[in-house]
Amino acid sequence: PTPPPAPAPVAEPATVAEAVQASTGKPGEGFVIQLSAVRSEADAKTEWARVAKKFPELLGGMELVIQRADLGAKGVFYRVRGGWLKDRAEAKALCDRLAERNVGCIVAKP
């Protein structure tokens, strides 16, 4: 018997990073994605570098946005965020792709 024909290749959809780079919002406008919150600004920079290096296809071209958050008795945290995305849907799509890779992500307004 002859083997079955190989399946036709499936075209990959454009990556979220391509969509992000094509339609990023202006700095300070739109939405950001938050990946974590850490105890120092230095740790925030390190964490962003680690995740961006691991997933350049998703986070390449994005800007690190660190937000200081004083939570009173809980202490001060530095939110590790990436921006800028023009709308919530675009930010959510990126978070969904990161979640598929076991990266925690939430959509936020700066």
> Does any domain span residue 7?
no
The answer to the question of residue 32 being in a domain is yes
Buried b (16+ CB within 10 A) or exposed e, 11-32: eeeeebbebbeeebbeeeebbb
Its domain, for residue 101, covers 23-108
Count of the separate structural domains present in the chain = 1
85 assigned to some structural domain: yes
pLDDT of residue 23: 43
Q: In this structure, what CATH number is given to the domain that contains residue 54?
A: 3.30.70.1070
Span 12-41, pLDDT tens digits: 444 444 444 434 667 788 999 999 999 999
pLDDT in tens, 48-60: 999 999 999 999 9
d(CA 45, CA 30): 22
Position 9 in a domain:
no
Residue 49 to residues 8, 83, 88, Cα–Cα distance (Å): 38, 14, 24
Residue 73 lies in a domain: yes
Residue 8 maps to a domain: no
Q: Which residue has the higher pLDDT, 11 or 92?
A: 92
